[in-house]
Amino acid sequence: MMWLAALAILIGLAILVWSADVFIDGATALAKKFSVPSFLIGVLILGIGTSAPEMVVSVLAAIEGSPELALGNAYGSNIINIALVLGATVLISPIIIRRGIVKRDLPLLLLITVIAAWQLRDGTLSQADGIVLLILLVAVLGLQIIMSIREGYHEHEDDMVVASADSEHSNNLEHSNNLEHSNNLEHLNNLEHLNNSESLEKLEPSVTRGLVSLIIGMLMLVASSRAIIWGAVELATLWGLSELIIGLTIVAVGTSLPELVSSLSAARKGEHDMALGNIIGSNIFNTLAVVGLATVIAPIAADPVILSRDVMAMGVLTILLVTLCVFAFKTKRQFGRTSGATLVLFFMGYTAWLIQSVSM
């Protein structure tokens, strides 16, 4: 029975990562096809998409009577996202800290973490607590949309355009204007040709593919999540471990794979700030949406250790992240490999603490 439970988790995690990718592709294709603004794609679709595994696993865990698994999954994923995913990403490629991250995103993440800790002060999360988290989620999304509008929609694109222009200027100053003019004319001609002859032909197939990807991705998310939950509960029972520990380790690592893959990919492609933005957005969504939905479905009576160990670790880690980013921003330095090594060491220490608490 043990091998079957372990197999269910392994296969479920593999399908979960694949289905999350399919879901994101479908949602993004539909958004672009219907001219949804790029900032809205980033805030809603990518934020929800990379946290879709945590959300579906936690909701189904709550429905099936394992609310501590849901809580461990959300908070464990938050710790892994910062300490392991971001730490490993920065070790590969340092990240440039933008003003918006320091002034808005990081303080918001810290505030939400404090609210999560305050709600757990009595060891329980009621349905009212879950409703508060979901209301905060709507408010945060609204704030992100409004701020994106005020900042001109394209903060990230502007950084990339400037970097690209500087590179082109240094490599070939004499011919850059001519090449740019020629490329622009060619691009406009191609766009006109495509709009006149191909856009109508490709509209329906693109919409159809997007819808199919969205539906298949969501169905496979649900199916793989159910397999993971069943395997996790079975292993917890067979090994004598709590559902909280299983959620904090096996399930949390598995559902954080989309963030890991996307952040490492962004680092390799030189899209530095995307990696940090991905982690911050995912952690905010995990705390508000994942925990909020699970708590509304089934109130959670948490083990006291989750506040004294896991929530405290999440809070200290968030403060550490804010401190490192502020220091990097004010000294005009990158969020470099020393910071990445610090985060990875924190993860190793937390994991050792977790193992020690289980063996006691």
C-alpha gyration radius of the chain: 22
* Range in 40-44, 251-255, 352-356 the model is least confident about: 40-44
Nearest partner of 234 among 223, 250, 220, judged by Cα: 250
Query: Which of the two residues, 155 and 304, has the higher pLDDT score?
Result: 304
* Range in 20-29, 82-91, 295-304 the model is least confident about: 20-29
Please give the pLDDT value at position 119. 92
* Range in 80-84, 85-89, 276-280 the model is least confident about: 276-280
pLDDT band at 68 (very low <50, low <70, confident <90, very high): confident
* Range in 27-31, 268-272, 345-349 the model is least confident about: 268-272
d(CA 274, CA 266): 7
pLDDT band at 202 (very low <50, low <70, confident <90, very high): very low
Structural tokens at position 30: 């539909």
d(CA 269, CA 288): 30
Q: What is the CATH code for 2-157+203-359?
A: 1.20.1420.30
Task: State pLDDT tens for residues 149-169.
Answer: 665 544 444 444 434 434 444
Environment class of residue 62 by beta-carbon count within 10 Å: exposed (0-12), middle (13-18) or buried (19+)?
buried
Please give the pLDDT value at position 245. 77
pLDDT band at 265 (very low <50, low <70, confident <90, very high): low
* Range in 168-182, 322-336, 341-355 the model is least confident about: 168-182
What is the total residue count of the chain?
360
Name residue 335's beta-bridge partners. 95
Average pLDDT score over residue span 278-282: 79
Assess contact for 255 and 239: CB atoms under 8 A.
no
Please give the pLDDT value at position 209. 79
The pLDDT > 90 percentage for the chain reads 14
For the entire predicted model, the pTM comes to: 0.69
Please give the pLDDT value at position 20. 66
Kindly compute the dihedral angle of the four CA atoms of residues 278, 283, 286, 289, in this order, to the nearest 10 degrees: -80
DSSP state of 44: I
Token pair 């622009």 is found at 184
Residue 298 confidence (pLDDT) above 50: yes
pLDDT band at 56 (very low <50, low <70, confident <90, very high): confident
Question: Which residue ranges make up each domain of the chain?
Answer: 2-157+203-359
Residue 24 confidence (pLDDT) above 70: no
Please give the pLDDT value at position 45. 60
d(CA 221, CA 22): 10
Please give the pLDDT value at position 40. 53
Average pLDDT score over residue span 105-125: 91
pLDDT band at 128 (very low <50, low <70, confident <90, very high): very high
**Average per-residue pLDDT for the chain:** 75
Phi/psi of residue 53, nearest 5 degrees: -60, -45
DSSP state of 149: H
Residue 27 confidence (pLDDT) above 50: yes
Distances (CA, A) of 59 to 4, 81, 100: 23, 20, 32
Please give the pLDDT value at position 98. 77
Distances (CA, A) of 80 to 26, 112, 154, 298, 326: 27, 17, 29, 25, 21
- At 30 the three-state DSSP class reads helix
Residue 118 confidence (pLDDT) above 90: yes
Task: State pLDDT tens for residues 237-261.
Answer: 787 777 677 777 777 777 676 667 6
Assess contact for 93 and 265: CB atoms under 8 A.
no
